[in-house]
Amino acid sequence: MTAATTLPDLGPLWMPFTANREFKKNPRLLVSAQGMYYTTHDGRRVLDGIAGLWCCNAGHCHPKIVEAVREQAGKLDYVTAFQMGHPQAFELAARVAELAPGSLDHVFFVNSGSEAVDTALKIAVGYHRLRGEGQRTRFIGRERGYHGVGFGGISVGGMVANRKMFGGVMLNGVDHLPHTHNLEHNAYSRGSPAWGAHLADELERIVALHDASTIAAVIVEAVPGSTGVLPPPQGYLERLRAICDKHGLLLIFDEVITGFGRTGGNFAAQTFGVQPDIITIAKGLTSGVVPMGGVVVDKRIYDAYMTGPEFAVEFFHGYTYSNHPLATAAGIAALDVYRDEDLFARGRKLAPVFEQALHGLKGCRHVIDVRNIGLMGAVELAPRAGQPTVRAMDVLRGCYEKGVLVRTAGDTVVLTPSLIISESEITQIAETLRSVIQTVA
Ligand code: PXG
């Protein structure tokens, strides 16, 4: 136990995606972390059931990643990514390309998942234009999709709360596939549910409405995470791929959450055996240690840009902190740790244990569904009458009091631990959840 830390003035900070006033009355501050555990400001150890926020796949403060960042900070702090380079940026791109499926072999680095998504959308439109199909400017997203908070991301995303304030200023011409969540057909499925592949055929209807010649790309999370872990129905992603191929649409998998071992494969693309044209990444890329995202593109997309005079900039896009040396150092070290400790295989091995533990909550008071894939899990609760989301938040608070950090998505409790979690820690998370769910109103 560490000594309790005095609380700072909580007033000036405007917290993201947070009920600020409620939080500041009852703050939950974390002051240090190691492996699977946080230490709270009042000196308690909390088991992290959500890998920070789906990102610390190698656990917290892994010594090899910490050391790499420390060393880099003292050696080369910053280099502009525009017309200049540094060796680690190229090395990390090659390492990511090695992990990515098939011909997805070029990487554009950014600083977050939101930037990765907006960058991917621009790459898609530019690709079509370079090929003489500049009229392909529409995007198709999906209901219950989360693609970050940029204007592109909220436009293709399907979360009402994130969109409703900005209705008039989002991208034009975006349409949405239906989501695949269905309790009547799929409750308590283990892994991908059997029902729902036909929902991908809605893409044909959307294409018929707008005409394929106006559509640049379809973007989906291989497994939607933020809206409560919705594994794709069996055969669904394959159908999306086939329809995209038929109509010349690029298929973008947003793997900000599902990348780097979260679903068992390097990427969900490999877990499900479906190759998109573009993958967006972030989070696990650096195991959450330094902010970084990226866009992994198919060779033919990169090649389409590498035309025109050699002296000319091919893509007028980039960020001051693209290829940041601290981020690339963290990224290379994280990928080393994943490889050296065989963490993706570890995640695959633990997935059935995780599945069993979560599905053991079936029959528990308030529970109406349990879903899982790899080390992504969700326990959906019946909403309290007239107070949506409040019951799940009560569960979050109750678990935190009992030393386990979970996340909520509406009335769903979400779990997504680091790949270093042990079997007994999985049991601890499930049993803490059970005891708290039984006691909340
Ligand atoms: N795409 C996906 C699929 C994500 O999950 C982003 C893009 C945006 O990444 P940045 O780095 O810009 O935040 C995300 C982010 C939650 C939650 O409650 C998840 C995210 C962000 C905030 C909350 O599950 N994922």
Where are the chain's structural domains? 20-58+342-439, 66-340
Angle between helices 423-439 and 343-359 (to 10 degrees): 30
229 vs 384: CA distance, rounded Å: 21
Task: Show contacts of 163-166: CB within 8 Å, 24+ apart.
Answer: none
Residue 312 CA, ligand 1 centroid: distance in Å:
34
Q: Which residues line ligand 1 (CB under 6 A)?
A: 17, 53, 112-114, 117, 146-148, 221, 225-226, 254, 256-257, 282, 407
Residue 114 CA, ligand 1 centroid: distance in Å:
7
> For ligand 1, atom 18, which residue shows the shortest CA distance?
226
Residue 50 CA, ligand 1 centroid: distance in Å:
13
59 vs 218: CA distance, rounded Å: 33
Among 49, 51, 56, 33, smallest CA distance to 429 is for 49
Most ligand 1 atoms within 8 A of CB, residue of 257, 286, 415 to mutate: 257
Residue 146 CA, ligand 1 centroid: distance in Å:
7
Question: Virtual CA dihedral for 294, 295, 297, 302, nearest 10 degrees?
Answer: -90
Tokens of 59: 């656990």
Enumerate residue ranges in the chain where pLDDT < 50. Answer: 1-2
By the 8 A CB rule, do 316 and 305 touch? no
Instruction: Report which ligand 1 atom has the smallest distance to the Cα of 407.
Output: 18
Among 190, 188, 204, smallest CA distance to 247 is for 204
Q: How many CB atoms lie within 10 A of CB 242?
A: 14
DSSP 359: H
128 vs 112: CA distance, rounded Å: 25
Query: Among the CATH numbers 2.40.50.140, 3.60.110.10, 3.40.640.10, 3.20.20.70, which is that of 66-340?
Result: 3.40.640.10
> For ligand 1, atom 9, which residue shows the shortest CA distance?
113
By the 8 A CB rule, do 293 and 301 touch? no
By the 8 A CB rule, do 65 and 337 touch? yes
Return the SS3 of 432.
helix
The amino acid occupying position 223 is V
Instruction: Report which ligand 1 atom has the smallest distance to the Cα of 224.
Output: 3
Q: How many CB atoms lie within 10 A of CB 125?
A: 18
Helices and strands (H and E) in the chain: how many? 16, 15
Instruction: Check residue 1 and give its pLDDT.
Output: 43
Residue 74 CA, ligand 1 centroid: distance in Å:
31
Instruction: Check residue 3 and give its pLDDT.
Output: 54
Instruction: Report which ligand 1 atom has the smallest distance to the Cα of 254.
Output: 3
Most ligand 1 atoms within 8 A of CB, residue of 162, 226, 405 to mutate: 226
Most ligand 1 atoms within 8 A of CB, residue of 54, 57, 119, 146 to mutate: 146
Tokens of 156: 């293709």
pTM above 0.95, yes or no: yes
DSSP 164: G
| Domain 20-58+342-439 in CATH 2.40.50.100 | no
Instruction: Report which ligand 1 atom has the smallest distance to the Cα of 280.
Output: 1
